[in-house]
Chains A and B, each alone.
Chain A
Amino acid sequence: MSQLALVIDLNVCVGCHACVTNCKEWNTSGSAGALSDDHPYGKDPTGTFFNRVQTYEIGKFPKTETLHFPKSCLHCEDPPCVPVCPTGASYKREEDGIVLVDYDKCIGCRYCSWACPYGAREIDEHQKVMKKCTLCVDRIYDESLPEDERKPACVLACPTSARIFGDVHDPDSEVSVAIREQGGYQLMPEWGTKPSNHYLPRHKNHVSYHKDELERADNPLKKEDYQVDASEPSLDDVTSW
């Protein structure tokens, strides 16, 4: 059984929000749409989005890190939102592990959102049903699309390729390799939800030169010692032993 998921590389995410709006753009006219917006041109505009990019500051000046942190549904292996749903609208697909909401069954009771520790679900205030990331299930199996475009919209859009998509149960998949080799981790492991989405941590390249490298045989200044004026006094002129 496969488990599709996203691996998000915090080491390269610059926080540009491309994934946020590309997700909105694809999904509002897709099978998960429409995604409504309230007060779109008024005070406090708000709307349904499946994916957000957040910003955190870590540490004190001058040792400050600015972390951009994209977050969408993590498609937990043991999703707490699914068993609580009274209608079965919230479900996890056997074949690929995607957690979905069947809009036709959803009664909009919001209980699933209470059961999600990650705040990954958003109610559509007008369609009155719960919505969430679908991993673009209406793209990834669409054979009318070129094969390399059968990916979630956020992954296609991401300018820094900070979002990798694949099967985390396949040990040889790009996502599994990335998790294994780059220390991929899960959010809030304390709840045992086993999120399928993983995050790759920041890693730093530090100063790598050695002080010895400053003493150079190829120092070009050596080429510039041209003029020793013979008329200037020297030690040789004034010592006689």
Chain B
Amino acid sequence: MQPAFSVIFLTTLIGMGQGLFLAIYTEQVYSVLNVVQTNSSDRFYGIASGVALVLLILGLIASIFHLGRPERAWRAAAMWRTSWLSREVIILPIVMGLVFLFGIVHFMSWNPVIMTFGQVEVRLSLIIGAFATLATFSLYIATGMIYACLKFLQEWHSPLTVINYLLLGSVSGFTMASVVAAYWQPKLVSFFVGWSIVMLVFAFISRGASLIRNKRLRPKSTVQTAIGVRHNQIKQKSMGFMGGSMNTRDFFHGKTLFFLRSIKTIFLVLVFAVPLVLLIVALFKPTLTVLLPAIVSMYLGLIAERWYFFAEGNHPQNIYYQSIA
């Protein structure tokens, strides 16, 4: 496929936004359950939620560039019964709304105790956060399923696609949380960094698994099945037009194999290797000077990762668009 930067930014930005929310909510849950002693402040939750919201909004803005008719984007909510894209379109504003509520409740300290279970006080934010978490997970699934549901895009048609969206989004969000924490609430850094490291390892395993899987794929469609002729030597001479069309522009990256391999290496280094080292360092030296490069590296790496994800998708329609003459 031809990677579209609007979609790359959409998925990476909202993934990180969702992850950032998950990070702070996890921390809040831990703190409520007294698993960790953090003394985190409402102000931090509010600011972090704000950052998450900004990321989600940036993602939304990016997505608009993908649409031919953004003024009609509201229509996209119509087909939630069948379309994962429609579901994403519905869930995204819900996530944004809940994250906003979660943040504002904290920030304005409108956070009454709703109920108590023994020692544990369940405040309003915790309940909003629970719904937001549900929405966030749904959004990861919807985003991943947009791609995973296309069965003839074999590289995408796998649970790993959804897991990768979830883990890569989460790890970038947790790392972002470390950065936000390093600035506003340094005590929390090690909590987020620790989780980031754990998730990075899982993300690496899952992303690596999909790379290995995709390398082994054999295309189900061939020029033989595409035109229905049994012969071992068939070559397209002419696709029927010479100046290109959407079929030649949207479905193939047009880059060399070397370029593709380089992008793969780059994203593996930038998403996994560099941040891992920096995060480990941050465990001992939890400063912005360590964490900022980590998040920058990771985000740039994710752009490369997403580019590669799209480019790797081998669309069977390309069989019909091989040659001009």
Partner pick for B72 among A66, A107, A121, A201, CB 8 A cutoff? A107
Distance to closest chain B CB from A80 (angstroms): 8
- Residues A122 and B73 in contact, CB atoms below 8 Å apart: no
A111 within 8 Å of B by Cβ?
yes
Which residues on the A side are within 8 Å of B258 (C-beta)?
Answer: none
B315 within 8 Å of A by Cβ?
yes
Interchain Cβ contacts within 8 Å, total number:
178
Q: A47-B243, A84-B150 are in contact. List 11 more A-B contacts (CB 8 A).
A: A45-B243, A57-B237, A67-B229, A83-B82, A86-B76, A86-B86, A87-B72, A87-B75, A116-B317, A119-B320, A191-B221
Chain A residue with Cβ nearest B229:
A58
- The number of chain B residues touching the other chain, given as a range, is 35 or more
Which of A48-56, A140-148, A165-173, A227-235 interfaces with chain B? A48-56
Interface size (A, Cβ < 8 Å)? 62
Which residues on the A side are within 8 Å of B3 (C-beta)?
Answer: none
What's the dominant secondary structure at chain B's contact region?
loop
Q: Report the separation of the CA atoms of residues A71 and B238 in the bound assembly, to the nearest whole angstrom.
A: 13
Which residues on the A side are within 8 Å of B146 (C-beta)?
Answer: 111
Q: Encode B214-238 as 1/0 by CB contact (under 8 A) with A.
A: 0000001101011111010111111
User: Which residues 199-252 of B have a CB within 8 angstroms of A?
Assistant: 220-221, 223, 225-229, 231, 233-247, 250-251
Partner pick for A54 among B231, B236, B244, CB 8 A cutoff? B236
Q: Encode A92-120 as 1/0 by CB contact (under 8 A) with B.
A: 00000000000001111111011111110
Distance to closest chain B CB from A187 (angstroms): 6
Partner pick for A85 among B72, B79, B245, CB 8 A cutoff? B79
Which residues on the A side are within 8 Å of B82 (C-beta)?
Answer: 82-84
Partner pick for B68 among A54, A114, A123, CB 8 A cutoff? A123
Distance to closest chain B CB from A133 (angstroms): 14
The 10 A-B pairs at the shortest CB distance, nearest first, are namely: A108-B68, A128-B68, A119-B317, A52-B240, A83-B82, A86-B86, A86-B76, A46-B243, A44-B243, A87-B75
- Residues B78 and A107 in contact, CB atoms below 8 Å apart: no
Q: Report the separation of the CA atoms of residues A106 and B75 in the bound assembly, to the nearest whole angstrom.
A: 8
Which residues on the B side are within 8 Å of A130 (C-beta)?
Answer: 68
- Residues A107 and B67 in contact, CB atoms below 8 Å apart: yes
Which residues on the A side are within 8 Å of B269 (C-beta)?
Answer: none
- Residues B317 and A117 in contact, CB atoms below 8 Å apart: yes
Binding site for B on A (CB under 8 A): 17, 20, 39, 44-49, 52-60, 65-67, 69, 71, 80, 82-89, 105-111, 113-119, 121-123, 125, 128-130, 185-191, 199, 201
B85 within 8 Å of A by Cβ?
yes
